[in-house]
Amino acid sequence: MSQQPNLAPIPELYVNADSAQKLKADAGEMLSWDLTPRQLCDVELLMNGGFYPLKGFLTEADYDGVVENMRLSSGGLWPMPITLDVSQEFADKIEPGIDIALRDQEGVILAILSVTDKWVPNKKREAEKVFGADDLAHPAVNYLHNVAGPVYLGGPITGIQPPTHYDFRARRDTPNELRAFFRKMGWRRIVAFQTRNPLHRAHQELTFRAAREAQANLLIHPVVGMTKPGDVDHFTRVRCYEAVLDKYPAATTHLSLLNLAMRMAGPREAVWHGMIRRNHGLTHMIVGRDHAGPGKNSQGQDFYDPYAAQDLFRQYQDEIGIEMVDFKQMVYVQERAQYEPRDEVEEGATILDISGTELRRRLREGLEIPEWFSFPEVVKQLRRTSPPRDQQGFTVFFTGLSGSGKSTISNALMVKLMEMGGRPVTLLDGDVVRKHLSSELGFSKEHRDINIKRIGYVASEITKNGGIAICAPIAPYTATRRAVREMVEQYGAFVEVHVATSLEECERRDRKGLYKLAREGKIKEFTGISDPYEEPQNPELRVQTEGVDVDYAAQQVLLKLEQMGLIGLS
Ligand code: PPS
């Protein structure tokens, strides 16, 4: 395989400015779809050639081939389904043969999709083949089942304009912009470092070694689209990258941001990343330990072997069209005061390492982060974003049957937290929310889900801004509670408290007289009587209320918050 890149421009899907103007006017009349954040990332990379040779969202035949064996119907390699998932309601309006406008979240028309295919995917098969298991602990499998719409649309797209980014504009490059940059600089061998984490010393050592080994220039190419839920946000990460850029030789290293929505698909993702980097004009890519790994499955085991990504990449390297620079995990060897690949460390030497989890713990608790691990400039940025936990916002989410005691306990908790002071506290009680935020909603599954997601949205905003949100709805569905958890955990802790009062006891108390009416059939869809309640399997806390006073239950929650480091003793 040649490592001399062809740095000629790669085909894009945009039409010229005049046609774009005209198309945009025509598209105003078309049915239109508001792209989700993930689809927005995909559309950008489709249009700018990042996903070359794709010309649009996969058709059903291409999808089947990609899912089964990473092949498009043309026979070409493509490892990741790039699909336009839509709601059933929208799909019902669509017949293959029509054009639809694709809009960003402000309503700007970015592209036109000429729909050739519409189908209901077998999501279980997609999960098993693409992600290795139909296990909701995998973020992309959870996305597939609980976020993505039920119907896929496929067909070629015509690009009108790229999505607008207001942040870090100077650091974002399309494949053709990067190719032009490499041509201008005379760079011929360039190794990409894909990352979704801040750069610490181990990464710097790894990238130095990779560039040396490949005798290549280095492109630090972090993902700023979507990464794994719970990752450091991209604003902080980019500030971290910028803070250490001067530790790289300016003449040989470049930083560019990639607006990719990752799927955390390990081996397949590595192949995909390779193709995307090839499209950006790179000749080499670093694949380290557990590339794009999603963490543990629901059995507590790794989804993929840590080096499976390297194996798959190696197998398809010629077709991917760029060369892998593979690395074992880099670790710090104390006696030698330097980083080395784990498999090269002398026997008996002392290895020091700080895992991602340990790093987050130290940040959370305001503990020391040693200089051998990271750069003070990076740590400073991380501390700005992650103050110690007892200064961060968080959400306590009570769930339980009607009349279980959620409101009473949450009121007591609110007052106790206000007595402690420090952070603003907001109570989003079920009844209160239904009066102010959700007055038009009933109790169908659909309406309950809307209600809970509204609560989740408000709670996540409060958490983001450093406050305490206490929510107390019934929230009967596991998937919806999980969606709220994900919304909140982007910004702070989510503490699920199951108020586990039994149905019999709630009905015996019947404080509002609703159970009686429900039994008589006068209230329909009543939780526990004529509507389901899915008990939380792993709440942070389960409180019993039978034979226990409210004060004690609220104390248990406080103790849990203290144990989690969310409230201090001060
Ligand atoms: S949900 O499922 O989370 O959206 O419910 P929520 O917003 O917490 O609203 C629950 C309160 O509404 C009253 N109510 C009912 N509950 C359950 N099922 C039916 N059909 C129903 N109709 C009215 C009831 O007073 C609930 O209040 P709590 O505080 O839970 O007793």
Ramachandran sector of residue 565 (left: φ over 0; alpha: ψ -120 to 50; beta: rest)? left
φ, ψ of residue 414 to 5 degrees: the values are -60, -45
| 241-255, 381-395, 446-460: which is most confident | 446-460
**Secondary structure (3-state) at 172:** strand
d(CA 470, ligand 1 centre) in Å? 17
Residue 4 has pLDDT above 80, yes or no: no
- Cα angle 492, 493, 499 (rounded to 5 degrees) comes to 145
Average pLDDT score over the chain: 95
- Which atom of ligand 1 lies closest to the CA of 511? 31
- Structure confidence by residue, pLDDT tens digits, 32-69: 999 999 999 999 999 999 999 999 999 999 999 999 99
Which H/E stretch holds residue 255?
A: strand 253-255
What is the model's pLDDT at position 386? Answer: 81
Phi, psi dihedral angles at 543 (to 5 degrees): -115, 140
Residue whose C-alpha is closest to residue 203's, from 17, 356, 30, 417: 356
pLDDT category, 470, cuts 50, 70, 90? very high
User: Which of 146, 197, 297, 426 is an active site residue?
Assistant: 197
- Report which protein residue has its CA nearest ligand 1's atom 12: 431
CA distance 567 to 391: 8
Mutational pocket test of ligand 1: of 401, 429, 431, the residue with most ligand atoms within 8 Å of the beta carbon: 431
> What's the gap in Å between 500 CA and the centre of ligand 1?
16
In the chain, where the domains are located: 17-159, 169-258+264-385, 389-563
140-147 contacts at long range (C-beta below 8 A, 24 or more positions apart): 140/263, 140/264, 140/265, 140/294, 142/482, 143/38, 145/479, 146/479, 146/482, 146/483, 147/36, 147/483
CA of 31 to the centre of ligand 1 (A): 37
Residue that wins the pLDDT comparison between 5 and 477: 477
ipTM, two decimals, is 0.91
Q: Whose CA is nearest to atom 9 of ligand 1?
A: 430
CATH topology match: 169-258+264-385 vs 389-563:
yes
Cβ atoms 263, 66 nearer than 8 A: no
| 521 in a known ligand binding site | no
Long-range contacts of 434-437 (CB under 8 A, 24+ apart): none
Q: Which of 59, 142, 174, 196 is catalytic?
A: 196
Write down the pTM of the prediction.
Answer: 0.75
Mutate to test the pocket of ligand 1, among 409, 474, 534 (most ligand atoms within 8 A of CB): 474
Q: DSSP readout, 321-376?
A: TSEEEE-PPEEEETTTTEEEEGGGSPTTPPEE---HHHHHHHHHHT----TTTS-H
Bridge partner residues of 416 (DSSP)? none
Instruction: Show Cβ contacts of residue 10 under 8 Å, excluding neighbours closer than 6 positions.
Output: 49, 52, 175, 176, 179, 279, 281
pLDDT at 417 over 50: yes
Lowest mean pLDDT among 111-120, 139-148, 386-395: 386-395
Question: Closest residue (by CA) to atom 5 of ligand 1?
Answer: 474
Q: What share of the chain is helix, strand, coil (3-state, %, to 5)?
A: 40, 20, 40
Residue nearest to atom 24 of ligand 1 (CA): 402
Burial class of residue 300 in the structure, from the number of CB atoms within 10 Å of its CB (0-12 exposed, 13-18 middle, 19+ buried): exposed
The DSSP letter of residue 136 is T
Residue with the smallest CA separation from ligand 1 atom 7 is 430
Is 245 annotated to bind ligand?
A: no
Q: Is 103 one of the catalytic residues?
A: no
pLDDT per position as a tens digit, 509-554: 999 999 999 999 999 999 999 999 999 999 999 999 998 888 999 9
pLDDT-based confidence at 5, cuts 50/70/90? low
Query: Is 74 labeled as ligand-binding?
Result: no
Query: Residue 1: pLDDT band by 50, 70, 90 thresholds?
Result: very low
Write the pLDDT tens digit of every residue in 79-99.
999 999 999 999 999 999 999
Checking if the pLDDT of 112 tops 80, the result is yes
What is the 3-state secondary structure of 64-90?
HHHHHHCECCCCCECCCCCCEEECHHH
Q: Any idea which architecture 389-563 has in CATH?
A: 3-Layer(aba) Sandwich (3.40)
Catalogue the E-assigned strands of 392-446: 394-399, 425-429
More confident residue, 2 or 461: 461
CA–CA separation, 153 and 423 (whole Å): 46
Sign of CA dihedral 465, 470, 472, 478: positive
- Residue 386, annotated as binding a ligand: no
Output the CA torsion sign for 125, 127, 129, 133. negative
The proportion of the chain whose per-residue pLDDT surpasses 90, expressed as a percent, equals: 89
Using DSSP's 3-state secondary structure scheme, residue 285 falls into strand
Decide if pLDDT at 364 tops 90. Answer: no
Share of the chain above pLDDT 70, in %: 99
Question: Which residue has the least CA distance to atom 19 on ligand 1?
Answer: 526
**Residue scoring higher pLDDT (1 or 160):** 160
For the stretch 189-226, pLDDT in tens is 999 999 999 999 999 999 999 999 999 999 999 999 99
Instruction: Give the whole-angstrom CA distance, residue 456 versus residue 450.
Output: 10
114 annotated ligand-binding residue: no
- Cα(527) to ligand 1 centroid in Å equals 7
Give the total residue count for the chain: 570
Q: What is the residue type of 395?
A: T
pLDDT at 498: 98
286-320, pLDDT tens digit by residue?
Answer: 999 999 999 899 999 999 999 999 999 999 999 99
287 contacts 268 by C-beta, under 8 angstroms: no
Token pair of 520, please?
A: 């008589």
Candidates 364, 393, 414, 402; CA nearest to 557 is 414
Any idea which residue has 């190794």 for tokens?
191
Answer whether residue 6 shows pLDDT above 90.
no
Examine the pLDDT at 372 and tell me if it is beyond 90.
yes
Q: Is 357 a catalytic residue?
A: no
Find out whether 134 and 177 touch, Cβ atoms under 8 Å: no
Residue 407 counted as an annotated binding residue = yes
> Residue 442, annotated ligand binder?
no
**CATH number of 17-159: 3.10.400.10, 3.30.2130.30, 3.60.150.10, 3.40.50.2300?**
3.10.400.10
Q: How far is the CA of 402 from the centre of ligand 1 (A)?
A: 6
Among 304, 302, 329, 325, smallest CA distance to 313 is for: 325
Architecture in CATH for domain 169-258+264-385: 3-Layer(aba) Sandwich (3.40)
Residues facing 32 on adjacent strands = 101
Residue 569 pLDDT exceeds 60: no
Judge whether 426 counts as a catalytic residue. no
In 74-166 the beta strands, taken as DSSP E runs, fall at: 84-86, 99-103, 109-114, 117-119, 151-159
Tens-digit pLDDT profile for residues 175-184: 999 999 999 9
Q: Comparing C-alpha atoms, which of 52, 59, 49, 45 is closest to residue 320? A: 52
In the reported structure, the alpha carbon of residue 430 is separated from the centroid of ligand 1 by a whole-number distance in angstroms of 7
The residues, any chain, with a CB within 8 Å of residue 121's CB and separated by 6 or more, are 63, 83, 152
Q: Ligand 1 pocket: which residues have CB below 6 Å?
A: 402-403, 407, 430-431, 434, 443, 448, 451-452, 473-476, 512, 514, 523, 525-527, 531
Task: Please identify which of the residues 142, 195, 408, 463 carries the catalytic annotation.
Answer: 195
